[in-house]
Chain A
Amino acid sequence: MKDDKDMSCEHAKDKLEDWLHNDLDKADRLSVDKHLAECVNCQEEFAADKQLWESLAKMKVPEPREEMRVNFYAMLDNFKAAEATNKPFSFQTLIEKLRDIVLPQWTVQVAFSLLLVGLGWVIGNKTSQNNVSSTAYQQQIETLATQVEDMKSNMMLALIENPSATERLRAVSYTSDITHADEKVIDALFTTLNNDPNVNVRLVALEALTQFAKDAAVREGLVKSLALQDSPMVQVALADVMVKLQEKGSVKELRKLLDKEGLNDLVKNKIEQTIKDLS
């Protein structure tokens, strides 16, 4: 009974740290104090420890400099900026990614078939892209061609008034390469056909105009031209064109031509034959 109440030295030392921390409950505290009152050895030891313990508290620590705070907030700002650009990488997303990797077999199969479909799509896309690029290529060629045509039209218009018959011939020959002649070109050709002093140039102009005979205006012009021509060769050539085009509207003009004075007999026969063919 007495042993229980009275603390042994060993037991007391066991409580030393708690005693220093002031961390003993009331009963233990009383027991330790009682033991210290009775045991001189322990009293000395505890006193020394307490002195040391108190001394430790007196060890001063300097204040951290203000730079530490400044640096901290700078670091925090940098971190926030980095976080904002780097966007949310969280533990959660990492786990989700891992779960995606370690999924059952069927997902692999599904993924594989999706991959095939994707591959097909990519290939399809690629080839259609090739189509796109080839049509683009086509378009480029077409624009180049129209540019060449424009250039030829301009050349033709520039050369058609040249004093040299050879140059005028060349000018008219340019029109053979023109698929869509504009009004200027057609006008120039008719002017040449009806007024050019050189028969050969007029014949070539007629040939050139025949190309554009699909145009009603061109056909009308050709019919009118019958009355204006006085060269037998051109008259015959025009008559041939009328047959070729099956231009029935020309019959009236052809009859007028027959009434003309001093008409070449050969031409007369040719015209009569033409009227027969058309009617």
Chain B
Amino acid sequence: MNTLTDNSLMLRVKAGDLDKMGLLFERYNRPLFAFFYHMTHKRDVSEDLVQNVFYRMLKYKHAFTGEGEFRTWMYHLARNILNDSVKQNRSSDHYDVSEMADKLGGGTLADEGFEKREDVDFLHKAMAGLSDDYREVLVLSRFQEMKYDEIAKVLNINEGTVKVRVHRALGELKKKFFTNERR
């Protein structure tokens, strides 16, 4: 079904069939929300940011050429929107560890794969301790399951840089996680 690819849908939106954006929303609102949630750890903020991404895609629909992948374009916009919002609201938009801990307090997140709930807490803390650049590549790589070449396009850097950054981010996370765990 060639007519239902992301790109063809977005091209139809561009041509004026704005209702097709609804289909793209249904496909991507959760992954996008997850991206923003991993980056900000705030549900309200993440929901607003998702809305912003779709608004911006409508507003700048003429800029979509269909040469690149829709998903790449969308995350590129998403990342810019996130950066803008962080700049606007520097203190509050950072990964908020105390808020996160509250949310985890009564949860059952530790059930599968983790022996202790503390592990999850430590992992969250470790993620929160990473720089935005490192956290970003890990989120895109691990949670959005993007390949390095796609991440490179989203971030507008070359693939080699992405690979190095993921490697260092993972090293940093490991260091934080295991040192925290031992304390």
Residues of A within 8 A of B (CB): 16-17, 21, 23, 48-49, 52-65, 67-69, 71-73, 75-76, 79-80, 83, 88, 90-91
Given A52-B177, A56-B142: A17 in contact with B51 (beta carbons within 8 A): no
Report yes or no: B29 in contact with A76, Cβ–Cβ below 8 A: no
Report yes or no: A60 in contact with B109, Cβ–Cβ below 8 A: yes
Report yes or no: B113 in contact with A64, Cβ–Cβ below 8 A: no
Q: Which of B2-10, B76-84, B85-93, B117-125 contacts A (4 or more CB under 8 A)?
A: B117-125
Q: With A and B bound together, what is the CA distance between A80 and B63 in angstroms?
A: 18
Q: For this complex, into which size category does the number of interface residues on chain B fall?
A: 35 or more
List of B residues within 8 angstroms of A17 by Cβ: 141, 148, 163, 166-167, 170
B52 smallest CB distance to A (angstroms): 10
Q: With A and B bound together, what is the CA distance between A90 and B148 in angstroms?
A: 34
Given contacts A79-B55, A91-B62, 12 further A-B contacts (CB under 8 A): A52-B173, A52-B177, A53-B142, A55-B119, A57-B143, A58-B109, A60-B109, A61-B33, A62-B43, A72-B25, A75-B51, A76-B54
A170 smallest CB distance to B (angstroms): 82
Bitwise, B6-32 to A at CB < 8 A (1) or not (0) is 000000000010110110010001100
List of B residues within 8 angstroms of A72 by Cβ: 25, 29, 50-51, 54
Report yes or no: B173 in contact with A71, Cβ–Cβ below 8 A: no
List of B residues within 8 angstroms of A75 by Cβ: 51, 54-55
Q: With A and B bound together, what is the CA distance between A23 and B178 in angstroms?
A: 26
Of residues 135 through 183 on chain B, the ones whose CB sits less than 8 Å from some CB of chain A are 138, 141-143, 147-148, 163, 166-167, 170, 173-174, 177-178
Q: With A and B bound together, what is the CA distance between A192 and B7 in angstroms?
A: 101
Can you list 16 A-B pairs, Cβ within 8 angstroms, ordered by A?
A48-B174, A48-B178, A52-B170, A54-B113, A55-B114, A56-B142, A58-B114, A59-B127, A61-B38, A62-B103, A64-B30, A64-B43, A68-B33, A69-B25, A80-B18, A90-B62
- The reply to whether the CB of B73 lies closer than 8 angstroms to some CB of chain A is no
List of A residues within 8 angstroms of B114 by Cβ: 55, 58
Majority-rule SS of B interface residues: helix
Q: What residue in chain A is nearest B54 (Cβ atoms)? A: A72
10 nearest A-B pairs in the assembled complex, by CB-CB distance:
A91-B62, A64-B33, A61-B34, A68-B47, A56-B142, A61-B37, A80-B18, A79-B58, A58-B113, A60-B109
Q: What residue in chain B is nearest A16 (Cβ atoms)? A: B167
List of B residues within 8 angstroms of A21 by Cβ: 141, 147
Report yes or no: A58 in contact with B18, Cβ–Cβ below 8 A: no
List of B residues within 8 angstroms of A55 by Cβ: 113-114, 119-120, 123
List of B residues within 8 angstroms of A60 by Cβ: 107, 109
A85 smallest CB distance to B (angstroms): 14
Given A59-B120, A75-B54: A64 in contact with B21 (beta carbons within 8 A): no
List of A residues within 8 angstroms of B178 by Cβ: 48
Q: What residue in chain B is nearest A64 (Cβ atoms)? A: B33
List of B residues within 8 angstroms of A49 by Cβ: 170, 174
B13 smallest CB distance to A (angstroms): 10
- The reply to whether the CB of B67 lies closer than 8 angstroms to some CB of chain A is no
Report yes or no: B51 in contact with A71, Cβ–Cβ below 8 A: yes
Report yes or no: A52 in contact with B22, Cβ–Cβ below 8 A: no
